[in-house]
Amino acid sequence: EAEVAQSPRYKITEKSQAVAFWCDPISGHATLYWYRQILGQGPELLVQFQDESVVDDSQLPKDRFSAERLKGVDSTLKIQPAELGDSAMYLCASSETGTGQPQHFGDGTRLSIL
C-alpha cells in the first residue's frame, strides 16, 4: 500500500536554530496537510495545500514557520528560529482531495528542542 513519506523521523536541536521537515504524499494525492501533535492531544492543522496552493494556514505561526509545496508534490515545513514550545510530533498527511476524504498520515517527525 502506498505511504506518505516523511523525514527525518527524529530531530533534536537547540532553541534559536532552524529546523526543516520533508514530506512526500501518496502519489496522486492533491491535498497535503501538516499537523502538529502535542502529547495527549489530537493533531492540530498547521497548513493545508491543494496542489501547490495554500488553502488554509490560519493556525501557522507565520513569524517563525513557513511551508511550501512548489511543484505540487512534496513539501517542506520550516521553523526558524525554533523555540522550546515547538517540541512536538509533526505529522504530514495527504488525501485525494480536500473535501472530506480520508487523510493518510506519514510516520511523523518527533522534534525535541533543547
| Closest approach of other proteins to the CB of residue 22, in Å | 15
Binds other proteins (CB under 8 A): choice among 26, 30, 73, 89: 89
In the sheet that holds 19-24, the strands lie side by side as 5-7, 19-24, 75-79, 65-68
Rg of the chain (C-alpha set)? 13
CB 98 within 8 A of CB 50: yes
Alpha-carbon distance of 97 to 86, in angstroms, equals 29
Name which of residues 49 to 88 contact other proteins (CB under 8 A): 56
Count of residues that bind other proteins according to CB under 8 A: 21
Tell me which stretch binds other proteins (CB under 8 A): 12-20, 21-29, 35-43, 77-85: 35-43
Q: Which residues bind other proteins (CB under 8 A)?
A: 33, 40-45, 48, 56, 89, 91, 100-108, 110
